[in-house]
Chains A and B, each alone.
Chain A
Amino acid sequence: MTATQNGDKAAGNVLLSEVGLWLERYFRRRVPPHSIDDLVQDVLIAFYTKRGTWDSTRPFLPWLAAIARYRWVDHLRKVYKHDSKELMEDDAAEDSAEEVVLARVSLDRLFGQLPDKQSKVIEMVKIDGLSIREAAEKTGQSESLVKVNIHRGLKKLASLVEKAD
């Protein structure tokens, strides 16, 4: 990394390739497969533009992991905003099966930190692809309450990810 900071192209090429492989493993358990390559490329660009912020007296991997996590959270934030907008526009049911936004984002551990009523409806609508109405019927919640619980649950999930170190 020091050589890369000094402009050594050969070292930079090797490091970028290795970083790419590490990131691929890092994101494999965090994002849907079709998003992995985009995120890896996104982080590689961030790695390149922010390479001056690595302190040579500190270990390299925690620095890289912090950047990867930041870009992942940013990705989640964008997804969350998009998703939240859909819910407010009342058309989540049509798109939910395609979006499956947070469904594959290492949810098991995070779901444990949400209230049951929130995790249950997120799972039904965002993972199983049920409509808001179907989820409302299954859980006994009103349709508005299902929307509110999905909205709050997703917001809390994003915040949990952001706060976790």
Chain B
Amino acid sequence: MVDYSNREELIAALTEDLTPVKRVKPRDGALLIAFAAVIASVASIAVYEWWSGLLTGQASGYFLITHGLLLVLGIASTAAVVSSVQPQVGARGSAPYWGAAMLAALPIGAVLSLLSGEGNHAHEGLNDPVAFMCTTASLSAALLVGIAGVLWLRRGAPVSIERSSWLLGLAAGSLGTLAYGITCPLDTFSHVGLWHVAPVAIATVVSRFVVPPLIRW
């Protein structure tokens, strides 16, 4: 940017360059993030195959509840993050945080359930052989959603960088985990309650530290 010696010169130069501008609409951001989530789902199905049990009634209630909560959290946090590109002052909705709190009840329940089980159930639950795969695959899908979110935030003018970063982490983590989750045939409470929620927490924390420098303007 050229350095102007006074305000009048700057205003004259900006006026001279003034052209019609495309409005930044939250709906476009929501579509972009939804599109990224769909691509992540298709990629997960291509790599891990669709789990037919989801539609044949084989999936447990825990599986459906967990992924239903992920969907709700994904929608709530996406709505909040895409709106954050329009500067505004005043009260902000807290729906994503309540959604995250509800989701957090699952791992707590899963741990309590493992601890209250007989024998070495807790040990088995934490040593889930596919935990690593579920976590990394979910995070890979979350990365795709996160990139779409960052591109959107860079188009706009987020004025609360930390909040936008937290929200993007929640959106990417929940939608990414959901995108992978539909291919995972393991539907026990301990598995989905722990390993289909952990990626959301990881993505949120990572986003808080990685995203701010990418979206600062």
Contacts and interface: CB of A to CB of B under 8 A. Distances in A.
A67 B87 contact: yes
Interface residues of A, number: 36
A52 B87 CA distance: 11
Interface string A50-71: 1111111010001101110110
B89 A9 contact: no
Contacts of A8: 18
A62 B91 CA distance: 12
Contacts of A44: 7, 10-11, 14
Interface in A2-58: 4-9, 12-13, 16-17, 20, 37, 40-41, 44-46, 48, 50-56, 58
B132 to A, nearest CB: 37
Q: Do most interface residues of chain A lie in helix, strand or loop, or is the interface mixed? A: helix
A7 B20 contact: yes
Contacts of B21: 5, 7, 51-52
B15 A16 contact: yes
B87 A63 contact: yes
Interface residues of B, number: 31
Q: Which of B6, B23, B162 has the most CB of A within 10 A?
A: B23
A165 B7 contact: no
A58 B88 contact: yes
B30 to A, nearest CB: 15
B146 interface: no
A50 B7 CA distance: 18
Q: Is the interface of B mostly helix, strand, loop or mixed?
A: loop
Contact of A16 (B11, B22, B91): B11
Given A40-B7, A66-B89, A13 B15 contact: yes
A50 B89 contact: no
Nearest to B157: A50
Contacts of A63: 86-88
Contacts of B12: 13
B11 A165 contact: no
A46 B157 contact: yes
B85 A53 contact: yes
B98 interface: no
A50 B18 contact: no
A131 B89 CA distance: 39
Given A66-B88, A69-B159, 16 more contacts: A9-B16, A17-B11, A37-B7, A44-B11, A48-B14, A52-B21, A52-B24, A53-B24, A55-B23, A58-B88, A63-B87, A65-B89, A67-B87, A69-B89, A70-B159, A162-B160
5 contacts: A9-B16, A52-B21, A54-B86, A66-B88, A165-B91
Interface of A: 4-9, 12-13, 16-17, 20, 37, 40-41, 44-46, 48, 50-56, 58, 62-63, 65-67, 69-70, 74, 162, 165
